[in-house]
Structure 1
């Protein structure tokens, strides 16, 4: 239990236990009765706080002194271990027995105004930052160049007996650095910085942080007091002169014994707010001034020293790096969010080009050479007639969410949706030496994905979707079209139109490619050379290829081959899709809608459903394994081995191209 001991005057050696609020004066009703006419009737008051005590001068005639300095009337002064209280000719020593601010680690969060764009903290209303106007500049005891690197501000010196304390602080700084390194949010960073101040500087009573806002003005963003004063409002004085010195000279400043100077105005001075010592350091990162941090103490015995200033300067240096990193992280997050949101309405590559400056924000175009892709749902008009508008949109959204990712994954630029149409291109926004291969691979992958998608929606009674895809490669113009108020990036030219004309020829499960698209990738494809085709806008016929497979990895082919599956007795079992051929072990992956119709080791016969050919192509194989159902409808992949069928096996090899003998009109009827 804390107590006062008389050391001079009166009855020397008297002990006064502090069990609660204790008044001091010459009146007999006081808890501590001091004799002497110069002592006021109620001279002073000692009041308990949360595990510490304050002394208050009650407007006495001759004043109350702590460690030789007069208290301002009615302003509480915390008592520290060993403080000497002088009342007239009587001196009393304060013995805390652990009940003083240095023994407390209780940090009360206090609110200050938050700058726009800066973190906002809970408004407790307990700490009011006041900028003082001094009649004279406060005494500056030490300064340090805060623009130097960490620990270049000078060696931290201390007597041998204080080395343990120095080591303890250095360990605390390492902990601070580790803690700050794991944080990215400014609010959390500032909280950690503030916690470190009270951990490393046990004599600190209050601390605050100011950050520079977008206009360049320094705005208080966080303040803390070591002691929670049970909701009482506490004034926090801030010297304009010291703050300006720190900001203008980028120096850390230590000012001790501020009360002794007597250089402050009578209104809101450091004197009447009981500041004994304060230090302030700037947040500097690569010569950029981000803000300041300041701490003060009301203890006349435990003031800040030059090594404390060096420590605060280094903490501020670390904090500045992490604050700047946090700002950059937030900027990246914001740009990523903007890109992501814009990419929902515009092509991601176009958004990136506009933000990065690779696409000029002016009307006009330039010559491009690339591959253009169009995709339509076959018979979509009939599907739309049978569904409500809301159901149509829902179905399209599910379809687009599957197909859009396939295009971008294969380095394509998804340009636009138009009803059920998808338009994309390669080697326009992003350089791509394999544009034709990537475009056709994306096309085959989309057909496979839609087969699996159909297994899902058909289980709920919905109509399946069938895609027709067309690709063409050549020169066209790419650039901004529109007006001064609105423009969009697009590609225009005869080769763009031709890609759409080729797509209009394609039927269910077909990927059609112009000769300019197919030829560079011919040795990686299995395809059917179609009859010469006449399309709108072209006086001469064009050569088109139906791509049924494309190499994905060495020895593996992605396939889009619909098949009719029958058993060894010739009975129809199910429709399916051959989706992959592995040349290394001569196996093929068949995707079927109903796994219950097939059993392991069963011998199957699969007839290719090719409207491009009149002759039958049949593949035989035994069921090697059946994967578990992947959705409610039971659709699953089946691995077939021991394959046979010469024509079918030859067709599955890369570089195979057979010629169609079916007229276009007959293909359309199919």
Structure 2
């Protein structure tokens, strides 16, 4: 076996059929992993039958006890699994690639040698399938404004969006190092495909964030992840770089006490949004860009990534992730994955926001259309700032109309018929007012009040009001015929213009 631990140390260990190999953090194991997320006795490989069976747990007093953090094979939790060549076993932060070596030439016909096996631990795939039970972090993220110096790794918006469609496996033949790169790309594609499929039916921002952080915890060694969104105007434009928290999660409970006073560098978040770049620091405490930042120094942060929630048209916020382990740091691969997850999250956020915006507009349109002509409603929705609070002084024409003798009519007619008559009358009159550019101000019992020249004034507002009054009187002739046919008494209307 070739073992690569989270701190980068690599060593070899041979595994042959016919015995059992224990794996864990304790020195008494056959395979000792220097990994704080590995149990003292975590798992074992039973090769006594000739096959190599991975078992999660260890035997004590004749009883099989399972590990706390579990064992993953190819990203799936397994209690027992017969290993095949090419399987990836993840234990804690160590990833073990199982390989069967070619059988040596034996001396016939005495015996046939069983094939040996080897494990290769790929540090780049660390945590690809590590167990994740994220916990919500307390709300109330704080900011500091430490000056920005330099960053170790930076990825532009063009790279962030473009790499999602260029994660391909180009070479039909590849070196071992290239194969590692291809495996990482394949893993990233798998995670992104899973994310796109999951987010397709999600319309809640907090649920979107939970789905995104699940993938970040699975694909990177992040200890804490925070999602911050920017406020937007009613037409979808970002107001500024002020952010509000929609969620904060930790990998496990041991980090909960470190999130009570979680502080994020405003300098970093503003740079990420303004310049549309993703930033990575592999040792944040020694990086000049974080110099003096409470968010870094006081919390013992060793490595950070901040990626924009970016689409082709907007930057909706950022995803911030950090590591607290002094022996491990983020890599450029982690930056690429978190940036890609952030970009996909941003697309979903933009869709959800657009959906909510359209729903608000539809409700507003339905409400406004009861009192205003269509062109005024359209102007109000497209440019709400054009309508000032407090109103404005301008010359208008006011139209009043009511039914003559309505009091006597209502006294001799049952209420249902009165309501039916008013509905027919108001519907017909309102259509005429809107057709002539008027705005309905209110209904007053059996009367109505409309204005011409507000909120938008034209040189012919008074003329339009007169034309509307004439059209209303003409409309009463066929309307009375309709009322008579329906069993109502004909009515007369009086109209005044001011």
Shorter-chain TM-score range: 0.5 to 0.7
Deviation at 1:336, TM superposition (A): 3.0
CA spacing shift, 1:349–1:226, aligned 2, 3 Å: same
Describe how 1:319-338 pairs up with structure 2 within 5 A. 319-338=345-364
**CA distance in structure 2 between the aligned counterparts of 1:263 and 1:7, rounded to whole angstroms:** 44
1:104 aligns with 2:128: no
Q: Which runs of 5 or more residues in structure 2 are unaligned? A: 1-21, 30-37, 42-66, 71-90, 96-126, 170-176, 233-238, 491-498
**CA distance in structure 2 between the aligned counterparts of 1:17 and 1:483, rounded to whole angstroms:** 74
8 Å contact kept, 2:376–2:456: no
Q: Tell me the alpha carbon deviations over residues 188-212 of structure 1, each in whole angstroms, 9 at most, x when there is no partner.
A: 44443333322433x2211112233
1:226 aligns with 2:199: no
1:480 to 453, 458, 461: 453
8 Å contact kept, 1:107–1:225: yes
Deviation at 1:346, TM superposition (A): 4.2
Describe how 1:336-351 pairs up with structure 2 within 5 A. 336-347=362-373, 350-351=376-377
8 Å contact kept, 1:145–1:251: yes
Structure ranking higher in helix proportion: 2
**CA distance in structure 2 between the aligned counterparts of 1:376 and 1:479, rounded to whole angstroms:** 18
2:311 to 285, 291, 311: 285
8 Å contact kept, 2:131–2:218: no
CA spacing shift, 1:287–1:4, aligned 2, 3 Å: same
TM-score, normalized by length of structure 2? 0.53
CA spacing shift, 1:281–1:334, aligned 2, 3 Å: same
**CA distance in structure 1 between the aligned counterparts of 2:290 and 2:434, rounded to whole angstroms:** 70
Q: Which residue of structure 2 lines up, in the alignment, with residue 384 of structure 1? A: 410
8 Å contact kept, 1:132–1:269: no
**CA distance in structure 2 between the aligned counterparts of 1:245 and 1:496, rounded to whole angstroms:** 58
SS in 2 for 1:182: coil
8 Å contact kept, 2:128–2:218: no
1:509 aligns with 2:481: yes
**CA distance in structure 2 between the aligned counterparts of 1:209 and 1:240, rounded to whole angstroms:** 13
Q: Which residue of structure 2 lines up, in the alignment, with residue 593 of structure 1? A: none
Q: Tell me the alpha carbon deviations over residues 22-43 of structure 1, each in whole angstroms, 9 at most, x when there is no partner.
A: xxxxxxxxxxxxxxxxxxxxxx
8 Å contact kept, 1:104–1:226: no
Q: CA RMSD in A?
A: 5.5
Q: Which residue of structure 2 lines up, in the alignment, with residue 143 of structure 1? A: 154
**CA distance in structure 1 between the aligned counterparts of 2:316 and 2:456, rounded to whole angstroms:** 42
User: Over alpha carbons, which structure has the higher Rg?
Assistant: 1
1:207 aligns with 2:234: no
**CA distance in structure 2 between the aligned counterparts of 1:149 and 1:261, rounded to whole angstroms:** 23
**CA distance in structure 2 between the aligned counterparts of 1:155 and 1:282, rounded to whole angstroms:** 19
Structure ranking higher in strand proportion: 1
8 Å contact kept, 1:479–1:489: yes
Describe how 1:557-596 pairs up with structure 2 within 5 A. none
8 Å contact kept, 1:211–1:219: yes
**CA distance in structure 1 between the aligned counterparts of 2:434 and 2:295, rounded to whole angstroms:** 68
1:6 aligns with 2:27: yes
1:168 to 181, 184, 187: 187
Q: Which residue of structure 2 lines up, in the alignment, with residue 465 of structure 1? A: none
Describe how 1:109-188 pairs up with structure 2 within 5 A. 109-113=136-140, 129=142, 131=144, 133=146, 137=149, 140-148=151-159, 150-152=161-163, 159-161=178-180, 163-188=182-207
**CA distance in structure 1 between the aligned counterparts of 2:226 and 2:167, rounded to whole angstroms:** 26
Aligned residues: 355
8 Å contact kept, 1:281–1:316: yes
1:492 aligns with 2:465: yes
Q: Which residue of structure 2 lines up, in the alignment, with residue 439 of structure 1? A: none
Deviation at 1:272, TM superposition (A): 5.9
SS in 2 for 1:6: coil
**CA distance in structure 2 between the aligned counterparts of 1:482 and 1:247, rounded to whole angstroms:** 38
1:249 aligns with 2:260: no
**CA distance in structure 1 between the aligned counterparts of 2:455 and 2:242, rounded to whole angstroms:** 45
Q: Which residue of structure 2 lines up, in the alignment, with residue 297 of structure 1? A: 323
Q: Tell me the alpha carbon deviations over residues 388-416 of structure 1, each in whole angstroms, 9 at most, x when there is no partner.
A: xxx95x86556555776788999975965
CA spacing shift, 1:299–1:341, aligned 2, 3 Å: same
**CA distance in structure 1 between the aligned counterparts of 2:349 and 2:338, rounded to whole angstroms:** 16
SS in 1 for 2:26: strand
- Which stretch has the larger CA shift, 259-268 or 183-192? 259-268
8 Å contact kept, 1:378–1:507: no
TM-score, normalized by length of structure 1? 0.41
CA spacing shift, 1:207–1:483, aligned 2, 3 Å: closer
8 Å contact kept, 2:167–2:185: no
